[in-house]
Structure 1
Amino acid sequence: MLLSRIRGPEDLKALSEEELHELVEELRSEIIRVTAETGGHLASSLGAVELIVALHRVFDSPRDRILFDVGHQAYAHKLLTGRQDRFHTLRQEGGLSGFTKVSESEHDAITVGHASTSLANALGMAVARDLQGQDHKIVAVIGDGALTGGMALAALNKIGEMGKDMLIVLNDNEMSISPNVGALAGYFKTLQVQKWVQDAEKLGKGFLERISPRLFELADRAKEATKMILHQENPFYAWNLRYVGPVDGHDLKGLVYLLEKLKDLSGPTLLHIVTKKGKGYKVAEEDPTHWHGASPFNPEAPTKKKGSYTWSLAFGDAVTELAEREEKLVVLTPAMREGSGLVRYAQTWPDRYLDVGIAEDVAVTTAAGLALAGMKPVVAIYSTFLQRAVDQVIHDVAIEKLNVVFAIDRAGLVGADGPTHHGVFDLAFLRTVPGMQIAAPKDALELRAMLTAALEQNGPVALRWPRGAVEPAPEGAWPECAWGRWEVLKPGSEVYLLAFGKTLGYALEAAGADPRVGVVNARFLKPLDREVLAELAANHALVTVEDHQLAGGFGAAVLEALEELGLRPEVRRLGLPDRFTDQGKVESLHAKAGIDAAGIRRALAELGVNVNVSAPRAG
């Protein structure tokens, strides 16, 4: 196999054109083979293979810096940059990251997992290069979905102003995870239909070059004048960017030719390529949304597996039914319709559904506008992506105590996507916001109760739940819960475990039937239930358990409350240490952090309570 001979990008330069095409097919086969075993971002990586081969054929990584926005399309890049022997460890504990990562390879220019960051990074690198008198090339690869992010657009504005030498490759496949939305996405589609312009240009160029270099030069000048007319409304020209395209992103020969011509141009150039997500694998081409983030599958007979019922679906079902009862309810998402379980809602209530694209800040502030106008907005967002809109939560929502509900999915460790996606900081930054209320349901039924109550609060509310399976709630069931009150699930005589969300199950398992160990569903995290806390702390030791950073998290909030109450019980805090947690299976990561049942039992043993592990679990 050709691929086995590629030890680094420099080996591509010795291959013939025919061999390059063979390499493309081998890369696709290897990506499919390994992703079938490990799961991963299949469709996006398959769509970028020709582009990545062309980039490494023309540029000299790692001297030239190639930046991949999000990084989930860079599997071919990993295979071509000395990581073939470890590619089978993709997204596994101790293995390769599913994204680009600076500490993993000198060929990875940036560590990334969120969208819209590549252009600002590229600008910084270009400024540093010029200040240091260096002359290497900088290439940023960004998808049309990521280009909807305000950070990317703001970076384009500065790039155009400064005029630094760099190449921006816009990989346009009309997809993020869901189909792209917004005016810019619509504009890209209008550009894509101008194939007649490109065909005519190619034909005329070849003819004139053959008969007269002078005529070609004159025609080239005429072409520039024509482009000013044809593209006078092209936004990239307004940003002072040289625009080339759109071109076929699967035409390897054409890509290599263009990149060779463009790499030495002065100033910023944007090459607009059109690709097909899932290219070369029929099922992924036909359903790129499903195969965007694939679970392990049989590559010879790939089928859509019916997964378990998840927290995301529980939220989606609840909010869809709730909209029938609450006509002012509006749900917003930053391009995460499928991930947040909102497909059914979007189809049922299209007029009360807003997908703002990959722009979390826009989602939050649009929700603020809805609340100011008397509506009841719910922002469905992953914990890790809410980090990108902290200012908007504070400035646009919380100051005026607007009733915006944040439906926070993927709270806690999420597994194979690793440190860029773990949702382990939201408690720390949200609980410092005045007026913010935070709750975590123990099951799908409690989620429904909290959701209905959250819509009636005077101020912002954050509801958070983990990634994973949950038992569905009965359709039409709308129970009530005592807002702000903790729930004692099991009494104890010596020590109480205070847990919520994912860790509540571990706490119940750790306590077993031991009468000395009580368990509390500490479902309201801000404000804490001080009444119950004071009762428990008066005569019991306490163990707090959270799938969150210890610094600033739930345990810290409990200690603060105890100090204010003037109580000094013995307390053990279990949570995530002061470091970023790598990828791995969630259960394994929890065990390493000591927040699983075994870890809780160790904490109990330190308090003098050795639980009989053979005793049946309580409840």
Structure 2
Amino acid sequence: MLGQSVGRLLVVLQKVNQPQDLKPLSMGELLQLTEELRSEIIRVCAQNGGHLASSLGAVELIVALHRVFNSPRDRLLFDVGHQAYAHKILTGRKEVFHTIRQEGGISGFTKVSESEHDAITVGHASTSLANALGMAIARDTLGEDYHIVALIGDGALTGGMALAALNVIGERKPRLIIILNDNEMSISENVGALNRYFREYQTKKWVQETQKWGRQVLEGISPRLFGLVDRAKEAAKLMLHQENPFYAWGIRYVGPVDGHDLPGLIHILEQIKELDGPTLLHAVTRKGKGYGVAEEDPIYWHGPPGFNPQNPIKVSKGYTWSAAFGDAVTELAHQEPRLFVITPAMREGSGLVRYSQVHPERYLDTGICEDVAATTAAGMALRGLKPVLAIYSTFMQRAYDQIIHDIAIENLPVIFAVDRAGIVGGDGATHNGVFDIAYLRTVPNVQIAAPKDALELRAMLKKALELGGPIAIRYPRDNVEKAPEGAWPEIEWGRWEVLKEGHRAYILAFGKTLKYALEAAGDDPQVGVVNARFIKPLDKELLKRLALAGHKLVTTEDHQRMGGFGSAVLEALNEMGLKPDIRVLGLPDRFFEHGSIPRMHHEARIDAEAIRAALAEMGVEAPTLAEAAHHPKPQTR
């Protein structure tokens, strides 16, 4: 396996700085290049963390694409984009590849503003086919001539957006190529009827026999000779169309083929690029290919933290908020037989592995279909279940219409467990969960809460099940102290919690920014801290009391300032006719790229230093030692 050669001299890769450098290489050199690319991907992922297994599995496909096509003139689209590491190395970013996902470095996904070779900016699944369709229409409308190739895999074809795009592609029949990178995986194992079809399809005897002579048939296909191979065409229709779902879409199907057979891939791509209309090439690959541990456990090695490439072992990521949610909902399901958990292909990420094993009859993975997950939850709620939809903030955006139309209008009892709320770090702008408060709090009937710890998360989950109605409980990508098993404290819904009293100012914070508020306040008796754990409804009673007492206020949040928690506080104060001295801290009106979370919080001015600066601006300076001694020790509760 490749793990033994990580760090060796990159002989062929040294010659390759741009895609055209692949053209004169011999097949032997191309095969060596695939090994060197894997070596470099492993080396850098070991250093930085990153999307390892998915990128290793797509190496031959990417080398074949750049050998056959001419980027950037030909447009190569990568769905999700996390499998495109080899593409980045081959397209002028070899010398900066070691900076991937690091602050100031290159993105972990394809990004239009980063390179002319990146056809689309992407981080969410199932978008490539609609993009490819739009590009093909633009090309044909403008009378231009270039190839468009979309590489879709890791479960993205199960997304409704991808299937809807296939429907239009089949009707309009533009000239483009779709490569299905079929590795049986998204992050978890793929689910659904389409995935089952592909598994059964590959094992059929006639498919195996077809593969033996498929190359000879393709060798005879060209625009000039296509009409002379009627018998081959009819045979293909008989064998492929009757049992192939792409026939219903009017899309030519080729495959399945070995996605790691580089000579075969190059040969087939050379043939099908000359065909008119849409063609789908079904390539079977192995996620983690070439690195033993990643092949054996592609789920863990999909996106591992840093590791020793010569001795790759799993490392604990600590006890995360996701794990805290998973433990809580697993226990809660024993108490509430109507509780049902849904995830859109994020079992591992959302901490639901144990739940899926303990309560398999009350667990549903919809695949990468957030809209389907939300509306399925609505259907369950309409017939007496209490669904919990575990979903990342960034992915919940894809179900916004369903939240409004199918859930909120009828005030259905659906709980949204909103993971990865706030800045997320290495995944960057496409994955930051910094819009959910703004787009949820405008929706009638929807309530929003943010626990300060795992124990409060448990209290909120249990209370939300009792209350009913759509309730979003948001928590960050971070570690948290484990709550005692079996602990289910009561919580007064809609009430904030005063963590520290102050006689001049109060910091209103929740979630991840609460630690910054406590750090900024320190032992200063002037400054109090409120765990503003309910964003909708706000605790207007406490807010009014603080404002009427003349306290200066600072709100802080790991969310867009525009439309967020601070905006809600300002709106409430305005409704009450109160005008306290207040500062609203939140993310500015721009996208934040990848980097360390503390550094980005500092840049966004929502950390402890920024809070202290806001207090100082309002005249609440940190006390001298003499002043601190004069005041009694601050009360906390």
TM-score greater than 0.5 by the shorter chain: yes
State the partner residue of 2:49. 39
Q: CA 1:495/1:234 → structure 2, altered by over 3 Å: closer, same or farther?
A: same
Report how far residue 228 of structure 1 moved. Answer: 2.4
Q: Is the 8 A contact 2:506 2:529 kept in 1?
A: yes
State the partner residue of 1:542. 553
Residue among 581, 586, 597 paired with 1:570: 581
State the alpha-carbon separation in 2 of the partners of residues 355 and 205 from structure 1.
Answer: 38
Within 5 Å, give how 1:432-447 maps onto structure 2: 432-447=442-457
Amino acid in the other structure paired with 2:19: P
Q: Is the 8 A contact 1:509 1:618 kept in 2?
A: no
Describe the SS at the equivalent of 1:93.
coil
State the partner residue of 1:28. 38
Residue among 341, 346, 366 paired with 1:336: 346
Q: CA 1:48/1:208 → structure 2, altered by over 3 Å: closer, same or farther?
A: closer
Q: CA 1:195/1:584 → structure 2, altered by over 3 Å: closer, same or farther?
A: farther
Q: Is the 8 A contact 2:260 2:285 kept in 1?
A: yes
Residue among 593, 596, 599 paired with 2:607: 596
Report how far residue 205 of structure 1 moved. Answer: 6.5
Q: Is the 8 A contact 1:512 1:617 kept in 2?
A: no
Report how far residue 204 of structure 1 moved. Answer: 8.1
State the alpha-carbon separation in 1 of the partners of residues 259 and 338 from structure 2.
Answer: 44
Q: CA 1:224/1:534 → structure 2, altered by over 3 Å: closer, same or farther?
A: same
Describe the SS at the equivalent of 1:285.
helix
State the alpha-carbon separation in 2 of the partners of residues 129 and 510 from structure 1.
Answer: 56
Describe the SS at the equivalent of 1:456.
helix
Within 5 Å, give how 1:510-549 maps onto structure 2: 510-538=520-548, 539-549=550-560
1:229 aligns with 2:238: yes
Query: What CA deviation, in whole Å up to 9, does each residue of 1:191-236 have, x standing for no partner?
Result: 22246535455448659989xx9xx999943333233232313110
Query: What CA deviation, in whole Å up to 9, does each residue of 1:506-543 have, x standing for no partner?
Result: 10010000000000000000010000000011120100
Q: CA 1:463/1:283 → structure 2, altered by over 3 Å: closer, same or farther?
A: same
Within 5 Å, give how 1:172-187 maps onto structure 2: 172-187=182-197
Within 5 Å, give how 1:98-113 maps onto structure 2: 98-113=108-123
Q: Is the 8 A contact 1:101 1:111 kept in 2?
A: yes
Amino acid in the other structure paired with 1:168: I
Residue among 24, 35, 53 paired with 1:14: 24
Q: Is the 8 A contact 2:513 2:558 kept in 1?
A: yes
Residue among 496, 502, 521 paired with 2:512: 502
State the partner residue of 2:6. none
Q: CA 1:140/1:513 → structure 2, altered by over 3 Å: closer, same or farther?
A: same
Residue among 455, 469, 475 paired with 2:485: 475
Identity of aligned residues (%): 68
Query: What CA deviation, in whole Å up to 9, does each residue of 1:318-372 have, x standing for no partner?
Result: 0000000000000000000000000000000000000000000000000000000
Q: CA 1:183/1:587 → structure 2, altered by over 3 Å: closer, same or farther?
A: same
State the alpha-carbon separation in 1 of the partners of residues 115 and 463 from structure 2.
Answer: 49
State the partner residue of 1:486. 496
Q: Is the 8 A contact 1:511 1:618 kept in 2?
A: no
Q: Is the 8 A contact 1:42 1:291 kept in 2?
A: yes
Q: Is the 8 A contact 2:59 2:86 kept in 1?
A: yes
Q: Is the 8 A contact 1:148 1:357 kept in 2?
A: yes
1:150 aligns with 2:160: yes
Q: CA 1:207/1:45 → structure 2, altered by over 3 Å: closer, same or farther?
A: closer
Q: Is the 8 A contact 1:512 1:611 kept in 2?
A: no
Runs of 4+ aligned residues of structure 1 deviating over 6 Å after TM superposition are 207-210, 216-219, 613-619
1:133 aligns with 2:128: no
State the alpha-carbon separation in 1 of the partners of residues 457 and 290 from structure 2.
Answer: 42
State the alpha-carbon separation in 2 of the partners of residues 150 and 382 from structure 1.
Answer: 18
State the partner residue of 1:557. 568
TM-score by structure 1 length? 0.97
State the partner residue of 1:365. 375
State the alpha-carbon separation in 2 of the partners of residues 208 and 3 from structure 1.
Answer: 31
Query: What CA deviation, in whole Å up to 9, does each residue of 1:141-160 have, x standing for no partner?
Result: 00150000000000000000
Within 5 Å, give how 1:249-268 maps onto structure 2: 249-268=259-278
State the alpha-carbon separation in 1 of the partners of residues 591 and 206 from structure 2.
Answer: 51
Q: CA RMSD in A?
A: 1.9
1:383 aligns with 2:367: no
Report how far residue 594 of structure 1 moved. Answer: 1.1
Q: Is the 8 A contact 1:316 1:345 kept in 2?
A: yes
Q: Is the 8 A contact 2:509 2:555 kept in 1?
A: yes
State the alpha-carbon separation in 1 of the partners of residues 65 and 339 from structure 2.
Answer: 47
State the partner residue of 1:583. 594
Amino acid in the other structure paired with 1:330: F
Report how far residue 610 of structure 1 moved. Answer: 1.9
Report how far residue 377 of structure 1 moved. Answer: 0.3
Query: What CA deviation, in whole Å up to 9, does each residue of 1:152-190 have, x standing for no partner?
Result: 000000000000000000000000000000000001112
Q: CA 1:218/1:318 → structure 2, altered by over 3 Å: closer, same or farther?
A: same
Q: CA 1:480/1:613 → structure 2, altered by over 3 Å: closer, same or farther?
A: farther
Q: CA 1:613/1:463 → structure 2, altered by over 3 Å: closer, same or farther?
A: farther
1:66 aligns with 2:98: no
Amino acid in the other structure paired with 1:548: H
State the alpha-carbon separation in 2 of the partners of residues 200 and 399 from structure 1.
Answer: 53
Describe the SS at the equivalent of 1:140.
strand
Report how far residue 576 of structure 1 moved. Answer: 0.2
Q: CA 1:245/1:326 → structure 2, altered by over 3 Å: closer, same or farther?
A: same
Q: CA 1:612/1:192 → structure 2, altered by over 3 Å: closer, same or farther?
A: farther
Within 5 Å, give how 1:142-221 maps onto structure 2: 142-143=152-153, 145-194=155-204, 197-200=207-210, 202-203=212-213, 206=216, 220-221=229-230
Amino acid in the other structure paired with 1:228: K
Residue among 293, 297, 303 paired with 2:307: 297
Query: What CA deviation, in whole Å up to 9, does each residue of 1:360-401 have, x standing for no partner?
Result: 000000000000001000000000000000000000000000
State the alpha-carbon separation in 1 of the partners of residues 419 and 218 from structure 2.
Answer: 59
Q: CA 1:209/1:98 → structure 2, altered by over 3 Å: closer, same or farther?
A: closer
Q: Is the 8 A contact 1:382 1:408 kept in 2?
A: yes
Query: What CA deviation, in whole Å up to 9, does each residue of 1:247-304 have, x standing for no partner?
Result: 0000000000000001121000000000000000000000000000110000000000
Q: Give the stretch that moved more between structures: 102-111 or 592-601.
A: 592-601
State the alpha-carbon separation in 2 of the partners of residues 445 and 411 from structure 1.
Answer: 18
Q: Is the 8 A contact 2:217 2:232 kept in 1?
A: no
Q: Is the 8 A contact 2:41 2:85 kept in 1?
A: yes
State the alpha-carbon separation in 2 of the partners of residues 208 and 96 from structure 1.
Answer: 39
Q: CA 1:208/1:532 → structure 2, altered by over 3 Å: closer, same or farther?
A: closer
Report how far residue 434 of structure 1 moved. Answer: 0.3
Query: What CA deviation, in whole Å up to 9, does each residue of 1:426-459 have, x standing for no partner?
Result: 0000000001110000000000000001112241
TM-score by structure 2 length? 0.94
Q: Is the 8 A contact 2:562 2:589 kept in 1?
A: yes
State the alpha-carbon separation in 2 of the partners of residues 561 and 419 from structure 1.
Answer: 30
